[in-house]
Amino acid sequence: MDTLAKALAYDKQIRIYACVTTELVAEAQKRHGLWPSSSAALGRTMTASLLTAVLKEENVTVKINGGGPIKDIVVEATKYGTVRGYVGDPYQFYQYNDSGKINVSYAVGTDGLLEVKTLINNEVFTSSSPLQTGEIADDFTYYFASSEQIPSSVGLGVLVNDDNTILASGGFIIQVLPNCSDEVITELENKLKNIKEVSTMVKDGYTPEDIIKELVGENNYELLDSNMPLKWYCRCSKDNFRRGLKMLKVSDLEDLIKDESIETVCNFCNTKYIFTKDELVEILNEKQNNKQ
């Protein structure tokens, strides 16, 4: 099961959240038939969005468009630990020549913004920052530093099997709290230079708490929550799409009724919902009756 752990470290000078997201990224890979660069880009964004939503205690919608071939990345994550998302082009796969590692930066691009939307008291708040490397983790690190004014370090990683299924996925965020001393910051920076990649930790069976231990050391943290469940979840339904159709103009609905049936598709989960001519006529009638 995918989970998230929360901790304070270095005598409450540092906040760390870490998570394992292999299953939820695997679900997204299966739903969209993602190729490795698309899996890595979406998986890292889903992981970072969950960390962001749980940290902010707000539901977030994250959008990244760096002008690369993958086009838009869109992810919705809730403060309760559910997440869904999609990319503009699921079939992207590039590798770095020297290491053979999946190239995410090229697929995502760097000419654009990382945008985070939150809904607070029915009002939408948007904050954003320019993309740095298109590798996602650096982009979130920069987002927290520039837009939220919290010095942070974000680590994210997704490993993909030869058959495109997901081997491991996880991530962490370290945030420096206002009372933090320079010595602690320097010590952490040095530690971060020498740690294993987070995807390797997950592949080796690390739990979120193990990741925290690896980052700050055995007896250096106070665990706040070790086992928050994380889950892929799409809240779409035929009823949702029905409401959407009902909001169309009468003339557009009349155009749709010319066909025997229409098919609507949820971008987030690829579920198809069919509306027959009869159902469309019913929607049109309801709309016209409501008006009178």
The contact pattern for Zn ion, residues 190-229, with x = CB under 5 A and - = no contact, is ----------------------------------------
d(CA 48, CA 36): 18
Minimum distance from CB of 236 to Zn ion (Å)?
Answer: 3
| Part in contact with Zn ion (CB under 5 A); list of ranges 103-111, 181-189, 264-272, 275-283 | 264-272
According to DSSP, the residues that pair with 174 across neighbouring strands are 16, 153
* Shortest Å, Cβ 219 to Zn ion: 44
Q: Which residues contact 26 (CB under 8 A, 6 or more apart)?
A: 165, 166, 169
Chosen residue from 26, 268, 275, 280 binding Zn ion by CB under 5 A: 268
Please tell me the distance from the alpha carbon of residue 249 to that of residue 282, in angstroms, as a whole number: 15
Pick the stretch among 54-62, 128-136, 216-224, 231-239 that binds Zn ion (CB under 5 A).
Answer: 231-239
Per CB under 5 A, does 266 bind Zn ion? yes
Does residue number 86 form part of the binding site for Zn ion (CB under 5 A)?
no
Per CB under 5 A, 75 contacts Zn ion: no
Stretch in the footprint of Zn ion (CB under 5 A) among 56-64, 73-81, 207-215, 262-270: 262-270
Strands 3-9 and 221-229: antiparallel
Least Å distance between CB 87 and Zn ion? 15
How many binding residues for Zn ion (CB under 5 A)? Answer: 5
Least CB distance to Zn ion at residue 45 (A): 17
269 near Zn ion, rule: CB under 5 A: yes
Toward Zn ion, which CB reaches closer, 84 or 213?
A: 84
Could you tell me the smallest distance in angstroms from the CB atom of residue 85 to Zn ion? 11
Contacts of 97 (CB under 8 A, 6+ apart): none
Residues 233-252 interacting with Zn ion (rule: CB under 5 A): 234, 236
Nearest one of 5, 1, 12, 13 to 186, comparing CA atoms: 13
Q: Is 30 in the site for Zn ion (CB under 5 A)?
A: no
Of 265, 261, 263, the C-alpha closest to 236 is 265
**CA 92, 97, 101, 105 torsion-angle sign:** negative
Q: Which residues have C-beta within 8 Å of that of residue 193, sequence separation ≥ 6? A: none
Spatial CB neighbours of 122, under 8 Å, sequence gap ≥ 6:
none
Measured distance CA(219)–CA(226) in Å, rounded: 15
Q: Under the rule (CB under 5 A), what is the footprint of Zn ion?
A: 234, 236, 266, 268-269
